[in-house]
Amino acid sequence: MKLKHIVVATDFSPISRRAVEAGLALAAKAGAKLTIAHILPSVVPIYAALPTQISKDLSAKQDAVKRTLHARLERLIEEAGKAGVRATALFETGDPVARILHLAAAKRADLIVVATHGRGAAAHLLLGSVAEKIVRQAPCSVLVVKKGKWRAKGRALIALDRSAVTPRVLKGAAQLAEQIGARLSVVHVINDTRQVADALASSHPGNILDAITKLGIERARKGIGETLSEAGVRVKPADILIREGRPQDVIERESAKGVMLTIVGTHSRKGASRLFLGSVAEAVVRSARSPVLVLKGLH
């Protein structure tokens, strides 16, 4: 995956400012074009039912709002120019999800950058939001940005589930990491054998349980090595992380350790994509401490 054109969606909220920062940073590093888009949700005109003067006042206020939004977009374009990024602005009225998806397809974008509020089960999660719909329906990869300053340096951590992350996806992740100057790390989660330790302790010596755990890790490492080899991707042994536990919990912890972005892949089925491992990936998008890149279109 090489970034050539990035689309950033902004509603000018503080959190969407993080999305703009991320889009600018990635475009600058990758030498990609950038489109910064604001979609003003459609409203049903009610002017005809109002007295003439009130109708004129409301129309004037709406025009003033649009001029303000245009001006804010232009300031972002100027900011991009100062950073050496070729950027254009787009201001439209309509359904935000539909317009952003249409724009990404029309521009043949490689990446859409969106922001989401909160993190964790009690926050305003992606479920039902504009960001979640874009993640599910986008024709290209999507970067979901959370609260917090964009990390200019760090690791690109790919959650490697061998049934979902194909060699092609892995290669795409490696290309992207190289393009943005990030060190690629791989995390793979295996079943937590400690969960059965108490149940087996009476009949199995502890060293047998340790041996089972060690064997599982060795097999996982060998399998990941085969996938890396097939993809033609080289990762330092220290950056191949085999962990036990619940995948979303492990990835959440690892994403807090100097990670620029966390990468998850998708399954493809009859032209449509669903997040890898279903609810696990959605949990990663919600809970990861770093921005999350959902790779699409690489199968």
294 DSSP β-pair partners: 142, 264
Between 206-231 and 167-179, two packed helices, what is the crossing angle to 10 degrees?
Answer: 70
**Mean pLDDT, to the nearest integer, of 130-148?**
87
Question: According to the CATH classification, is domain 153-299 in 3.40.50.620?
Answer: yes
- What is the spatial distance between Cα 75 and Cα 10, in angstroms, rounded to a whole number? 13
- The Cβ of residue 32 has, within 10 Å, a number of other Cβ atoms equal to 22
pLDDT for residue 85: 94
| Residue appearing with tokens 């003003």 | 40
Looking at domain 1-150, its CATH architecture is 3-Layer(aba) Sandwich (3.40)
- pLDDT of 272 > 50? The answer is no
The DSSP letter of residue 32 is: -
Calculate mean pLDDT across residues 153-182.
83
| Lowest mean per-residue pLDDT among 58-62, 188-192, 265-269 | 265-269
- Model pTM greater than 0.75? yes
Distance CA 13, CA 21 (A): 13
With tokens 């950058």, the residue in question is 113
Among residues of the chain, what percentage have pLDDT more than 90?
36
What pLDDT was estimated at residue 206?
55
Beta carbons of 209 and 197 less than 8 angstroms apart: yes
Q: State how beta strands 292-294 and 141-145 pair.
A: antiparallel
Strand ranges (E), the chain: 5-9, 33-40, 87-93, 111-115, 141-145, 155-159, 183-190, 240-244, 259-264, 266-269, 272-275, 292-294
Query: Which residue's structure tokens are 């100057």?
Result: 181
CB 221 within 8 A of CB 235: no
What's the chain's average pLDDT? 80
Whether 262 contacts 292, CB under 8 Å: yes
Tell me whether domains 1-150 and 153-299 share a fold.
Answer: yes
Considering only CA atoms, which of 242, 287, 273 is closest in space to residue 166? 273
Query: What is the reported pLDDT for 295?
Result: 84
Per-residue pLDDT reduced to its tens digit, 110-122: 999 999 865 544 3
In this model, does residue 187 exceed pLDDT 70? yes
User: What is the domain partition of the chain in residue ranges?
Assistant: 1-150, 153-299
The pLDDT score that the predictor gives to residue 159 is 85
